[in-house]
Amino acid sequence: MSGTLLLGLHLTAAAQDDLLQQLEQQATTQTKPDFATATFKGTRIVNGQSVETPASGSLQFLIGHRFGQLNSGAYNFFGLDQATIRLGLEYGLNDRLAVGLGRSSLDKTFDGFVKYKALRQHSGPRAVPVTLTLLATSTITTLKFPVGADRSTAARMAYSYQALLARKFSPGLSAQLMPTLVHRNLVPQPGDDNDVYAVGGAVRQKLTKRIALTAEYYYVLSEATAQQARNPLAVGFDIETGGHVFQLHFTNAQGMVDPLFIPRTTGNFFEGDIFFGFNISRSFGLNHRKP
């Protein structure tokens, strides 16, 4: 009888220990924030940037390519005889801070940027419903100016500042809002805006495990610039292929850096002024830290 009683007490104590361990594990899990990942698959949506930054110690090599306008006719092989290209590098200083530089054939432009993920969407304690990334970009054109034109370094500079605000609503659907300011030291037309304000929106919807539909649109708010330029629009597909992200898209913008496309897009997307293009990115881990 006493043996049975001791066995029962032992089993009861063991069950209590198991229950306590489960409660402790559950409490530990609940205190850790569950961060949203892959809100967008790459650091670029189409022309503009996403809230994503490269992982710490990761170097990304990007190739952006735009053919000529589709409505340029058979003589130009519907734009395939022409091309604009940008080569870029992006490096994650840590998991939230990144720097990058690039060179575009359009106006022979060099660009550099700093990107910081200020907020990260997560559930759990002190949940944050969105991801906020701050972006500052500067460009300088090295194109030869006409004789007598202002050739100073300052006249060749332009800057842009963005707050990228995104939310991952489900495993397949993400959206982003992009309030933007572009400052140009030298404007192309008299009366044009040196400071151009715009607001952008983007969406990503996964179609399959490796393919997603993306769309991006910027609305130019500054009146003088809006009268001379078109709002940039782009639609395309993201294709994941192992370590690569391959993006195919159609856009009325030729530039691939904010100061080159937000205030300077002139094509009408719905009248066939469309550039077919692609972005390719490849990531290289420069440190050997395990994730």
Query: Backbone dihedral region of 261: left (phi > 0), alpha (psi from -120 to 50 degrees) or beta?
Result: alpha
Contact 88, 59 (CB under 8 A): no
Structure tokens at 211: 């393919």
Contact 106, 122 (CB under 8 A): no
Name all domains of the chain by residue range, CATH numbers in brackets.
56-285 (2.40.160.40)
Structure tokens at 249: 């898209």
Structure tokens at 230: 């078109």
What string of pLDDT tens digits covers the 291 residues of the chain?
555 544 454 545 555 566 656 655 554 455 678 888 889 989 999 999 999 999 999 999 999 999 988 877 787 787 787 889 999 999 999 999 999 999 999 999 999 999 999 999 998 888 999 999 999 999 999 988 877 777 789 999 999 999 999 999 999 999 999 999 999 998 888 788 999 999 999 999 999 989 999 999 999 999 999 998 999 999 999 998 876 789 999 999 999 999 999 999 999 999 889 999 999 998 888 775 544
Residue with tokens 């300011």: 181
pLDDT by residue (tens digit) across 107-154? 999 999 999 999 999 988 889 999 999 999 999 999 888 777 777 899
Structure tokens at 113: 């940027």
pLDDT at 251: 95
Would you give the DSSP letter of residue 145?
A: P
Work out the widest C-alpha separation in the chain, in whole angstroms.
Answer: 109
Q: Is this prediction's pTM over 0.75?
A: yes
pLDDT by residue (tens digit) across 43-53? 999 999 999 99
Which alpha helices (DSSP H) does 195-238 contain, by range? 223-228
Contact 288, 253 (CB under 8 A): no
